[in-house]
Structure 1
Amino acid sequence: MSRILLFAILSLGCLQSFAQDLNYAKKTISTLTSKKYWGRGYTNNGMGKAADFIENEFKKFGLSPLSGNSYKQFFSFPVNTFPSNMSLKLNGKTLIPGKDFIVHQASKGTTASDSLIQKDSTTYLSKSGQIAISLQPKLTWSVSQQALDYTIVEVNKNSVSLPLSHIELNMTNELVPNFTAANVGAIIKGTTKPDSILVFTAHYDHLGGMGSKTFFPGANDNASGVAMLLDLAKYYAVHPPKYSVAFICFAAEEAGLLGSKYFTENPLIPLKNIRFLWNLDLVGTGETGATVVNATIHAQEFALLNKINNEKQLLAKINARGKAANSDHYFFTEKGVPAFFLYTQGGIAAYHDVDDKAETLPLTAYENLFKLFVDFSTAITN
């Protein structure tokens, strides 16, 4: 048996031992979606606790900081938060935050008891004109960097009986002008070409909490991507490749890709040295395959990805998509860094809601995705 063949067999065995065990991913996702981390957002120090968790994992695996002695890159921005009161009654019926209603992320806090006037089939206004009720088929929350001077409440249309005539609302907001967050990054030096870098990124923030009793777990978005990134870091720490491999977890993606924008404007590694970047976001499903953003921009790399996938039969299908500003790869693309953003498809439909939970996330394609990332990275460095 040749030394090359022997090395290939041994390498394959090592990869399988890492890739076939879902326990680490499940444990990581369960941890990050727990009440302790409060949706990895802007109240109860949820995002800060998540950053500490990621930093400790990097240290445990023996990775080095991207630059200097700190794994964290701090930055600040304004954000509208909802730290405490969050109650709503419509026509005397008490509604459940997150399930029956959400407050628009830019809303102003208010306490009111008022009559409602119907404006159209889905909209009601309070008599004072300061509160709007919008009936929705699905509740989807987000993050705002500003606060309006009025209040918008989105209500699940299946949770109320129409017409609406009266509202009782008690909701508190706090606009934080300089909320401080941190990107968390680490690196494994390459064995022969340390100045060439492969990069894996994932945002670790989510939506946080809406009031003192409701938080958004964010299992698929994006505890799944963080789990995959950390699992890859664990693997490469034991199997360092020729190129250096960097791992960056971004904050404030949900607030407008703020962490990745800040990083590209204040890079801790030379952007020109990045051979390729993978952004991992929404990778917890995969029954029907995955989609790759920037596939049409980097046709050669996408062809290589499909070649590996077809030979190994890892994913049902990989769909090509063009350039899109829909996750943390975008500002790297704008700086000329070759990058793909991959997200899986099929399975649960939970997104930006309270149902994006660890216990219902199938992780259908997780093992094969892991293999695909490693095989692609090996191929592209050769």
Structure 2
Amino acid sequence: MVLSTPVLSQDLQTARALLDTLTSKAMWGRGYTKNGMSKAADFISTSFKAYGLTPMDGETFKQPFSYPANTFPGKMNLRINGKTLVPGKDFIVMPESKGQEGQGKLFQKDSVTFINPEKRIILVLKDKLTWSVAPEQADYTGIEVLKTAISDQPETIELSIENQFNPEFQAANICGMVKGTSKPDSILVLSAHYDHLGGMGSDVYFPGANDNASGISFLMTLAQHYARHPQPYSIAFICFAGEENGLAGSKYFVEHPLLDLGKIKFLTNVDMVGTGETGITVVNASIHSKEFALLQQLNDKNKYLVKINPRGKAANSDHYFFTEKGVPAFFIYTQGGISAYHDVNDLAKTLPFTEYKDLFSLFLDFYKELMK
């Protein structure tokens, strides 16, 4: 089947609309406060049903599980040398931090580190703020401050920070399938994580446009396409929760698989695919040299992407636990373009989707060849 440009244009519009929804304030960073991750899970599940996908276990699209997470649902106030700093923009709290209220003096430990030993406060000056999520709570409060946010060396601190450690945060992987027309027991998988960092305090959330609303938009658009055009093989779609918290969702899936891992002919995991000016990188390229050569051949033939960069094995995304179980898998991410990462600037409106159409076409070609 040959796809025409108008079809791809429609798919790009669909992906943009999905991106806007996934990064919206209502989803609150698809994380740990204000039911952000739960709302995203509901949205993806409802969409899968509307597309005509079948639940992987035959009953529900959700595979529930839980894991520990340190969260920041409330107060997030900081003053340095009497100056009020803006959360997300001027400072972030270290994700493992305990909450506390108080004030005190800061003592210099090194050129960028300042401490208050009595209250167990650590402040580090940074060139860029990069947040994450932690599966534990520490016995200190850590703050990272953007160097340009203050003009003088930090000497006094006032803070009011609220944390809530959740030992069993409830999450769910979202799993759907399009049954194969002639070889349904042969399965190709597309996966991506839908969780992001959520919110830091009651007023600031991290949209996570490139990471990884881009990958989920890509996956959902392909799910819609394959639901309209069933293939000889079954095509499975897995949206993982908990990737930002140590690949929790993919680890759980591999330990509690909803399909026979031995029937997976190939898995492609996508994360941060919203750019592509300088090409894509393929993790596990050296492990699966035959499939990588096929991908290169298809790209060279159709001039989709400027470059495909091979990379070896890496435990850097949700493909990893499948690889460890012997499932052949690639992890693909785009390169170039925006530099926003794990910060409040990873926005839908600034995500270029530069090579979305080309990556979409390459993926369709690749999976078509794998089914021969």
Fold shared per TM-score above 0.5? yes
Is 1:171 the counterpart of 2:136 in the alignment?
no
Is 1:83 the counterpart of 2:73 in the alignment?
yes
- Equivalent residue for 1:241, pick from 218, 231, 237: 231
Is 1:18 the counterpart of 2:20 in the alignment?
no
Alignment of 1:250-269 (within 5 A): 250-269=240-259
- Partner of 2:178 in structure 1? 188
- Partner of 1:153 in structure 2? 143
Alignment of 1:100-115 (within 5 A): 100-115=90-105
CA drift at 1:119:
1.1
- Equivalent residue for 2:198, pick from 190, 200, 208: 208
Give the Cα separation in 1 of the matches to 2:225 and 2:287.
29
Give the Cα separation in 2 of the matches to 1:193 and 1:42.
40
Contact 1:114–1:127 (Cα < 8 Å) also in 2:
no
- Equivalent residue for 1:273, pick from 243, 257, 263: 263
Q: What secondary structure is seen at the aligned counterpart in 1 of 2:370? A: helix
Q: What secondary structure is seen at the aligned counterpart in 2 of 1:12? A: coil
- Partner of 2:295 in structure 1? 305
Give the Cα separation in 2 of the matches to 1:155 and 1:164.
10
Give the Cα separation in 2 of the matches to 1:144 and 1:231.
31
Alignment of 1:324-343 (within 5 A): 324-343=314-333
Contact 1:74–1:180 (Cα < 8 Å) also in 2:
yes
CA drift at 1:20:
2.5
Give the Cα separation in 2 of the matches to 1:176 and 1:223.
25
Per-residue deviation, residues 90-119 of structure 1 (Å, max 9, x unmatched): 001110000100000000001011011111
Q: Which amino acid aligns with 2:7?
A: F
Moved over 4 A (4+): none
Q: What secondary structure is seen at the aligned counterpart in 1 of 2:243? A: coil
Where in structure 2 are there 5+ consecutive unaligned residues? Answer: none
Per-residue deviation, residues 313-361 of structure 1 (Å, max 9, x unmatched): 0001000000000000000000000000000000000000000000000
CA drift at 1:12:
1.0
Is 1:58 the counterpart of 2:48 in the alignment?
yes
**Closer, same or farther in 2 for the Cα pair 1:322/1:127, shift >3 Å?**
closer
Alignment of 1:215-234 (within 5 A): 215-234=205-224
Give the Cα separation in 2 of the matches to 1:308 and 1:218.
31
Q: Which amino acid aligns with 1:74?
A: P
CA drift at 1:127:
5.3
- Partner of 1:6 in structure 2? none
Where in structure 1 are there 5+ consecutive unaligned residues? Answer: 1-10
Please provide the CA RMSD for this pair: 0.8
- Equivalent residue for 1:67, pick from 43, 57, 60: 57
CA drift at 1:162:
2.2
Seq. identity, %: 58
Give the Cα separation in 2 of the matches to 1:240 and 1:97.
47
Q: Which amino acid aligns with 1:47?
A: M
Is 1:353 the counterpart of 2:333 in the alignment?
no
Contact 1:18–1:235 (Cα < 8 Å) also in 2:
no
